Structure 1
Amino acid sequence: MRESGRTRRLLGLGARTGGALIRTRLGGQADWRALGEALFEGLSELKGPAMKLAQIMSQWDDLLPPDLAEELARLQRQAEPMPWADIRHTLVEQYGELDARFREIEQRPFASASMGQVHRAVTHDGETLVLKVQYPGLAEVLESDLAQVRRLMRLGRWFKVPQARLDALFEELAVSLRGELDYHAEAEALARYRARYAHLDRLVIPEPLPEFSGPRVLAMRYVAGTPLRELEEADHELRQQVAVTLADWLTEELFTHGELHADPHAGNFAADEAGRLVIYDLGAVIPVPEARLTAMMHLLEATLEGDAMAMDAALLELGGRQGQGAPLSLYRESAEAVSPLFQPGEQDFGDVRVHRRLRELSPKVWAAMDRLQPPADTLLLSRTLNGHYWNLVRLGARLDMHARTRALLPSAPA
């Protein structure tokens, strides 16, 4: 689709969304299911920034109408693939004659995402690879798409999302998408993570293959696995093993190496036949400066102590909190909602009472966002950790977070 056609399509979807919002404001009824279906169909075809934004929005199930959130969530797992002819064109640009390099390439993608899709391939030596192929022309239209997405995001104010939050979300989205186009950086991240976490025998990271990779194709050895989203009905022991590995890896990422995998949607993780955690995508890895991590641990410690004034001071340390800050009662409610997960002993991440309370609290936090004003990088870090939290919820994890965090808090003995 040419750039002008993409722009018209995006504006049309925005107009339809705006119309639904206006009807609800005027006391009418919007067909959120129909709107969600239209957005799913349109964004599945367009790919790119708008699809990525919708995937992020689908996680806001505490704010969006349920029918709309449910349809947008399909973009995480059922997005329509790009036609094979378009993908083949990119592969031919990379490899030349495909039959000379591969015995077989599956035309149906192994996975489809916002910026590219993954196809299995078999070399003439019989080795199975996966080829992550960037959508044709996406790099050329990215900035134009981002400009249209910024306009669409103004509709977030109808959901009472503060402008500061929308601006920060846009900057986060733009930086993330520009980074996801850099397959060389992702190949380097795969190699770095494989070396760094080689001692974690329950963690698997696919090996990048430079001899088959290029600017728009990233090749990796194929690692079979059951997607995390399909493990909810699996054996409890398997789910617990995967959850513990995920928690161990995230802790080491943050507190030893100062980095974090920043695309936590469930499709990026799986369990192999040995019950090991597989991480498929490292297109979004963010640095976490020590000063930022220390400030966040100050906030966690103040939260666990129920000290509203110390929580406010920690937000100032993080670089947020404007004017008079949030009401102290909101800090206290936040502490009461979070603290149960950090009580001594194993805590059940599947306990619906905990996330129900967090969901009930979320609109109040968002309403105070104009006064809290967390920096954009903190918002990305917070959203990422929230995504990993929900992965642990999906697994029904039982973890002793008190023991895991006790030595990491600022007041812990040296």
Structure 2
Amino acid sequence: MRERGRTRRLLGLGTRTGGAVLKMRLGGQSDWRALGEALFEGLSELKGPAMKLAQIMAQWDDLLPPELVEELARLQRQAEPMPWTEIRRTLDAQYDDLDGVFASVEPRPFASASMGQVHRAVTREGDTVVLKVQYPGLDQVLEDDLVQLRRLMRLGRWLRVPQARLDALFEELAASLRGELDYRAEAKALVRYRARYAHLASLVIPEPLPALCGPRVLAMRYVPGTPLRELETSDDATRQRIATTLADWLTEELFTFGELHADPHAGNFAADDQGRLVIYDLGAVIPVPPERLAAMLRLLEATLAADPMAMDSAMRALGGRQGEGAPLALYQEAAAAVAPLFAPGPRDFGDVRVHRRLRELSPRVWAAMDRLQPPAETLLLSRTLNGHYWNLVRLGARLDMAARARPLMARALA
């Protein structure tokens, strides 16, 4: 009965969302605030993969209406926690004697997300740790939700997205979500990243405690910090230090190790009391093949050269173009919108003029969906980079992107 109720609610929310998108596609006006409120209330209670996908949508600040993004972003910081009695069952299954392992476990979580929530605890040895606990029955919920998601993605045909592309997008999303269910894999990622970036004194990655970890419980040493979203009003020096560390780390991830932290919502990042960047969540790390990175850099190179024909060629190479009639005017406007971020010298990511121009392009992008399509192979990578970009915007970063990008393009395209 609960599964049927969940399915009905998901289908109802999906149909409502699809109707609003279709109305926008046809040139009408939708009440995005009301839709966002409905999605927040429904998905906050349902949790799981549906809520995760809404959090992903909230990172598309440059494509979705701001009223909708604002409501969906609440899912990253205001989601209702699951009752302690249900979480306790997962902990009891992991630790035969919970009270024998821990002197105390705080029943109320200090963080609640889509796939699990985080509780502070103290071991019998007196160490303060955090326990990331997966919601009970999430593996089955995931598979049920994916069935509904495949059905809902058929709405993409209203936007003239071919079925083969929808299927490829679904498979990438499904693989990413399934990969987040095994917390032992995340514990291994924490170990790998701690060793890999030990030379970055401005970066902190919590230490996992393997003896206390399992497939549905991840135990880490407690690292307090101020969430990234709350840094928007902090002093400029702290924000610039955090932004620089974030940019340096992402660059090394991509161009040295061919991986990328693929869950960039702001709740996964913080600043500690020494002004260091803290990365709390490594549940989603994706490989980035060199050839895929090179293809995206060719698009960037063409964009910075304001060469619409080269941009179209790069889009075709990425699999992001189909049909006849390259939208050359749209390419030119996109190049003009992006160019200020890559002008020589430090550029202000908080410059609202840049964001305004990007937002103004959104209706044009939707209107060109018969020719411009999200490349299935780069969907997750593009979405992730977009999310990290908006974290830099929230920090008001001032970075010399020209000095950063040119050597990387030369190296990757050599």
Above 0.5 in TM-score? Answer: yes
When residues 187 and 354 of structure 1 are mapped into structure 2, their CA distance, relative to the original with a 3 A threshold, is same
Report the Cα distance in structure 1 between the residues aligned to 2:357 and 2:388, rounded to whole angstroms: 18
Secondary structure at the counterpart of residue 119 of structure 1: strand
Report the Cα distance in structure 1 between the residues aligned to 2:412 and 2:40, rounded to whole angstroms: 48
Report the Cα distance in structure 1 between the residues aligned to 2:371 and 2:128, rounded to whole angstroms: 53
Instruction: Give the conservation status (yes or no) of the 8 Å contact 1:407–1:413.
Output: no
- 1:17: Cα distance to partner? 4.8
When residues 26 and 262 of structure 1 are mapped into structure 2, their CA distance, relative to the original with a 3 A threshold, is closer
Report the Cα distance in structure 1 between the residues aligned to 2:324 and 2:256, rounded to whole angstroms: 35
Q: Report whether the alignment pairs 1:204 with 2:204.
A: yes
- 1:3: Cα distance to partner? 2.3
Report the Cα distance in structure 2 between the residues aligned to 1:334 and 1:29, rounded to whole angstroms: 24
- 1:307: Cα distance to partner? 1.4
1:7-26 to structure 2, matched below 5 A, reads 7-14=7-14, 17=17
- What corresponds to 1:348 in structure 2? 348
- What corresponds to 2:367 in structure 1? 367
Report the Cα distance in structure 2 between the residues aligned to 1:11 and 1:333, rounded to whole angstroms: 37
Secondary structure at the counterpart of residue 257 of structure 2: coil
User: Deviations for 1:1-35, whole angstroms, at most 9, x for unmatched residues?
Assistant: 83233223323434555677799999998665444
- What corresponds to 2:124 in structure 1? 124
Report the Cα distance in structure 1 between the residues aligned to 2:50 and 2:289, rounded to whole angstroms: 29
Report the Cα distance in structure 2 between the residues aligned to 1:198 and 1:190, rounded to whole angstroms: 12
Instruction: Give the conservation status (yes or no) of the 8 Å contact 1:161–1:366.
Output: no
Deviates more, 1:332-341 or 1:222-231: 332-341
1:87-106 to structure 2, matched below 5 A, reads 87-106=87-106
1:267-286 to structure 2, matched below 5 A, reads 267-286=267-286
- 1:405: Cα distance to partner? 1.3
Instruction: Give the conservation status (yes or no) of the 8 Å contact 1:49–1:173.
Output: no
User: Deviations for 1:101-150, whole angstroms, at most 9, x for unmatched residues?
Assistant: 00111111121111111111110111111111111001022111111123
- What corresponds to 1:407 in structure 2? 407
Amino acid at match of 1:170: F
- What corresponds to 1:44 in structure 2? 44
- What corresponds to 1:185 in structure 2? 185
- 1:384: Cα distance to partner? 0.8
When residues 351 and 82 of structure 1 are mapped into structure 2, their CA distance, relative to the original with a 3 A threshold, is same
Q: Report whether the alignment pairs 1:392 with 2:396.
A: no
Report the Cα distance in structure 2 between the residues aligned to 1:140 and 1:151, rounded to whole angstroms: 17
Secondary structure at the counterpart of residue 371 of structure 1: coil
Secondary structure at the counterpart of residue 410 of structure 1: helix
User: Deviations for 1:201-226, whole angstroms, at most 9, x for unmatched residues?
Assistant: 00001111110001110111111000
- 1:63: Cα distance to partner? 5.2
- What corresponds to 2:244 in structure 1? 244
Report the Cα distance in structure 2 between the residues aligned to 1:39 and 1:320, rounded to whole angstroms: 29
When residues 184 and 336 of structure 1 are mapped into structure 2, their CA distance, relative to the original with a 3 A threshold, is same
Instruction: Give the conservation status (yes or no) of the 8 Å contact 1:79–1:113.
Output: yes
Instruction: Give the conservation status (yes or no) of the 8 Å contact 1:203–1:278.
Output: yes
- 1:57: Cα distance to partner? 2.4
1:164-179 to structure 2, matched below 5 A, reads 167=167, 169-179=169-179
- What corresponds to 1:58 in structure 2? 58
For normalisation by structure 1, the TM-score amounts to 0.92
Report the Cα distance in structure 2 between the residues aligned to 1:35 and 1:54, rounded to whole angstroms: 12
Amino acid at match of 1:208: P
- 1:167: Cα distance to partner? 5.0
Instruction: Give the conservation status (yes or no) of the 8 Å contact 2:258–2:288.
Output: yes
Report the Cα distance in structure 2 between the residues aligned to 1:411 and 1:16, rounded to whole angstroms: 46
Aligned pair count reads 413
When residues 405 and 274 of structure 1 are mapped into structure 2, their CA distance, relative to the original with a 3 A threshold, is same
Report the Cα distance in structure 1 between the residues aligned to 2:26 and 2:360, rounded to whole angstroms: 25
Report the Cα distance in structure 2 between the residues aligned to 1:411 and 1:211, rounded to whole angstroms: 42
Report the Cα distance in structure 1 between the residues aligned to 2:334 and 2:25, rounded to whole angstroms: 30
Report the Cα distance in structure 2 between the residues aligned to 1:349 and 1:28, rounded to whole angstroms: 31
- 1:50: Cα distance to partner? 1.3
Report the Cα distance in structure 2 between the residues aligned to 1:171 and 1:368, rounded to whole angstroms: 24
Amino acid at match of 1:214: G
Deviates more, 1:18-27 or 1:240-249: 18-27
Secondary structure at the counterpart of residue 129 of structure 2: strand
Instruction: Give the conservation status (yes or no) of the 8 Å contact 1:301–1:410.
Output: no
Deviates more, 1:278-287 or 1:180-189: 180-189
When residues 304 and 61 of structure 1 are mapped into structure 2, their CA distance, relative to the original with a 3 A threshold, is closer
Deviates more, 1:54-63 or 1:297-306: 54-63
Amino acid at match of 2:373: Q
Amino acid at match of 1:253: E
